Amino acid sequence: MENKTPEQIKELVKQQYSQIALQEKDQNESSCCGSTCCSTDVYNIMSDDYSKLEGYNPEADLGLGCGLPTQFAKIAKGNVVIDLGSGAGNDCFVARQETGDTGKVIGIDFTPAMIDKARINAEKLGYHNIEFRQGDIENLPVTSNVADVVVSNCVLNLVPDKVKAYSEVFRVLKPGGHFSISDVVLEGALPKTLMNVAEMYAGCISGAIQKDVYLKAIHDAGFKNVTIQKQKAILLPDDILKEYLSESDIKTYKESGVGIFSITVYGEKEKKDQPCCPPGCCN
């Protein structure tokens, strides 16, 4: 967002998602990831259907995602899983189904109201191996080398410093661990009118960066075997575009070739080579 410091952006996001935590799901579904730019079409465009996944809990689904990272995350029984931007706990509960009673799931969210809602949901479900912590993705409240898997659903685009965010993902993963993260990226430049609207930022679109820059941040953090597991185009409906652009600007925008995409990205933290035997044994 133009002329906004990272701290101001974070405060806008916190305010927006504090409001979303108190809204009903159908109110979020009729908006752009919970923002106030109302459209009855956006939910189906942005989000994938969780309802057929084991562990899905409707009360924890706020309709804020743009993918299904847990479906691609290769979670095994006994894994420690961290969900960044855990919201009301939706992805955490799906991840717990995969990791089982012997594993652990840690949800991190920036907004106290979301943490409260997630804890209530976990208590209702009787889950004792899920923990929710308030924290900043750029400075995760987690010690290093603890997670087997990190997941996140349409949240890192809201973080001002993507490089720092992915460096934190790298730090908390165990050697040999991996992530599967769904997010929104751009190809080409969105009109400034869209980029400068706080509601659109908190609603997933204007916080997005160029796809090649996003992938570079992942590589720069040290990840290997980076692949895109899924990609889908996001076509903004006219009723949203008319809120921010004139008719002529809409026509120009549609003909510009600019693309907004939901991508699910996978990457691995390389496992350090282990010596074939204890030091000195080959002497």
* Angstrom distance (rounded) from CA 250 to CA 255: 9
Per-residue pLDDT of the chain (283 residues; tens, 9 = 90+): 456 676 766 666 655 655 554 555 454 444 444 444 445 444 445 556 666 666 666 555 555 667 788 999 999 999 999 999 998 899 999 999 999 999 999 999 988 888 999 999 999 999 999 999 999 999 999 999 999 999 999 888 888 889 999 999 999 999 999 999 999 888 887 777 666 553 454 355 657 789 999 999 999 999 999 999 999 887 777 777 787 788 888 888 788 877 788 899 999 999 876 545 555 554 4
Residue pair 115/85 in contact by the 8 Å Cβ criterion: no
Q: What confidence score (pLDDT) does residue 196 get?
A: 57
> What is the distance between the alpha carbons of residues 227 and 238, in angstroms, rounded to a whole number?
32
pLDDT at 47 (0 to 100): 58
Nearest to 74 by CA among 247, 190, 225: 225
Strand 209-210 relative to strand 173-187, pairing? parallel
The pTM of the full predicted model, rounded to 2 decimals, is: 0.79
3-class DSSP assignment, residue 86: coil
pLDDT value of position 188: 85
Specify the pLDDT at position 29: 45
Asked whether 68 and 60 are in contact (CB, 8 A), the reply is: no
Report how far apart, in Å, the C-alpha atoms of 146 and of each of 80, 93, 175, 189, 199 are.
7, 19, 9, 38, 35
For residue 38, the model assigns a pLDDT of: 45
pLDDT in the model for residue 131 = 97
The angle that helices 112-125 and 90-99 make with each other, rounded to 10 degrees, is 40
Task: Say what the pLDDT of residue 30 is.
Answer: 42
**CB-based burial of residue 129 (10 Å sphere; 0-12 exposed, 13-18 middle, 19+ buried)?**
middle
What is the pLDDT at residue 198? 36
What pLDDT was estimated at residue 35? 44
How many residues can be counted in the chain?
283
Residue 50's pLDDT is 62
**234 vs 91, 103, 184, 245, 263, CA distance in Å?**
21, 35, 9, 17, 10
Locate tokens 């259907």: which residue? 49
| pLDDT value for 20 | 55
**Nearest-CA neighbor of 181 among 163, 158, 156, 159?**
156
Q: Are 274 and 178 in contact (CB under 8 A)?
A: no
- The domains located in the chain, with CATH, are 6-268 (3.40.50.150)
User: Which structure tokens are listed for 254?
Assistant: 């549609």
Rg over CA atoms, the chain:
19
pLDDT score at 171:
98
